[in-house]
Amino acid sequence: MTMSSNSAGKKAGGAESSDSMDEDGASRPQDAVHPALADVSEQGADVAVEASADSAELRKIIHVDMDAFYASVEQRDNPSLRGLPVIVGGRPNGRGVVAACSYEARVFGVHSAMPSAEAGRRCPDAIFVKPRFQAYKQVSQQIHAVFREFTDVIEPLSLDEAYLDVTNNTLFAGSAYRLAREIKSLILERTGLVASAGVSYNKFLAKIASDYKKPDGLFCILPEQGESFVASLEVGRFHGVGKVTEARMHDLGIQTGADLRQWSEEELAREFGKSATYFHRVSRGVDHRPVRVSRTRKSIGSERTFADNLHDRAAMLEILDALCEELHEQMQERELASKTVTVKVRFADFSTYTRAHSLPQGVLDVGASRRALPFLLDRALSLRQDATRERGQNAEVGADSGQGGGIDFAHGPGGERGPGRGPGRGPGLGFAQNRGAGRRSGVRLLGVAFSGLTPAGEDRPVQLEMNWSEN
């Protein structure tokens, strides 16, 4: 969606919109904003972002995130799509997922990673467009060229998103806020696309700020505002808190940053393990993570949590298939390939089983990955059944250890034609047919992950017999 920098008509309520201040810094009438920022003007935003009390280093961080990037590129390149609900991704009559959607589609509840079929039901008039990753990559190069005009300390997160450390930049009298406004303006001028930007003294708050007034947002959180801002923020808006963790926090009575701050790091560790230190710090507005110029990604994954537990194996496979396709699209976008695919199954009692398949050489293409899913799911379900039947004893998993021969993707285990067919179609069916345990045995979460990532093109995809690795 192409918009001018003035199109959102934003007002400065803190250090927010770039168009809500006169050039001399005098403020205009303001919209309601976050209470922690109610008294902040652009003049305040222009103050050098100072180090927090826990950091000895002065830092100014900008997080830039394009608005509805894929869909906006499609609307820019095809004017007939402007103002219409556009969904980039798989067709609604298939098993694809939504890669991105325009804001016109979002009002119907459509969002990225949603199955395309569900998106089509929610927005019957939506226009589905096949992704054009090469076009998105070309636009991304233009955007990142703008970043490099102002700093070399850039941490790309995706084609349309990056952190910038502008601590040492002296343009605009050292104002990170004005610098972010200039970056937004240049991106619009050169690409015809709109970006949102967040400015703060660390990565956690800069990312929250960029999302706070989307689309076409510009928002700044100063050091003296950080802790109070986080205190009233819902934990679901914390970067790093997914749906499952959010639900767990709510169960514990943690609704906001202020609630989270009441917990000691030791108490958080008992509930959230390795994430405890991160949660303990960011609830206080503290994040010492540097902007990493060289960022090597080792894995990529996606999960889906269900309001109603799943019992049907076919429904589980449909979800896993959609997640797999979504992740392959992301890897294609980032020019990555994977050697290992992992399936994660979490049950109603939070017991979790993961099963992985790795290739000793070459990389998995999308077809090989999808054909692995039924086998990995069945092994996870089988282990659950074993654990239920033989509680207190070690589960019998000899058949899952890779012994007794590999599995040919083309014909399935034991030479059967295709996964899930014939008399040996897998232990998952026994689970699907046995609903006697009710919600206690239902699946509440499914996930797919790819690891052992390498730059695409270094290895060609191969389809050999499978050797199973059990996690």
Q: Tens of pLDDT along 202-255?
A: 999 999 999 988 999 999 999 999 999 999 999 999 988 888 889 999 999 999
Residue (of 328, 326, 365) closest to 89 by Cα position: 326
Is 204 in a helix, a strand, or coil?
helix
Give the confidence band of 95 by pLDDT, cuts at 50, 70, 90.
low
Answer for the pair 180, 65: CB distance below 8 angstroms, yes or no. Answer: no
Residue 9 Rama label (left phi>0; alpha psi -120 to 50; beta): left
Lookup: tokens for 219: 């928002």
Which amino acid would we find at residue 149?
Answer: E
Q: Which stretch of DSSP H or E encloses residue 355?
A: strand 352-358
Q: Are 193 and 367 in contact (CB under 8 A)?
A: no
Q: At 100, list the tokens.
A: 């991105």
Q: How many residues does the chain have?
A: 471
Domain residue ranges in the chain: 39-220, 232-282, 299-470
Answer yes or no: 271 catalytic: no
Task: Tell me how far CA of residue 376 lies from CA of 14, 226, 345, 416, in angstroms.
Answer: 50, 44, 10, 16
pLDDT in tens, 407-460: 333 333 333 333 333 333 444 434 444 444 444 568 989 999 999 888 775 544
For the record, the structure tokens of 462 come out as: 């191969």
Place of tokens 């928002």: 219
Cβ atoms 11, 37 nearer than 8 A: no
CA distance linking residue 371 with residue 75, whole number of Å: 35
| Helical segments of 128-168, H only | 133-148
Which strands, in side-by-side order, build the sheet including 98-101? Answer: 98-101, 86-89, 127-129
Please tell me the class of the 299-470 domain: alpha beta
What local confidence, expressed as pLDDT, does residue 295 receive? 61
Q: In terms of Cα–Cα distance, which of 151, 155, 93, 125 is closest to 297?
A: 155
Rg (CA), the chain: 24
Residue 6 has pLDDT above 60, yes or no: no
CATH code assigned to 39-220: 3.30.70.270
- Tokens 């179609």 correspond to 425
User: Would you say residue 79 has pLDDT above 80?
Assistant: yes
Decide: 284 and 411 in contact? Cβ < 8 Å: no
User: Of the listed 104, 161, 227, 246, which one is catalytic?
Assistant: 161
Cis peptide before 156 (omega within 30 of 0): no
Neighbours of 256 (CB within 10 A): 18
The pair phi, psi for residue 444, each rounded to 5°, is -100, -20
pLDDT at 324 over 60: yes
Q: Please report the pLDDT score of residue 91 as a whole number.
A: 86
Residue 354 forms beta bridges with which residues? Answer: 344
Are the C-beta atoms of 267 and 291 separated by less than 8 Å? no
Report residue 326's pLDDT band, with 50, 70 and 90 as the boundaries: confident
- The Cα-based distances of 302 to 4, 112, 342, 446, 457 in angstroms read 34, 11, 11, 9, 23
CATH code, residues 232-282: 1.10.150.20
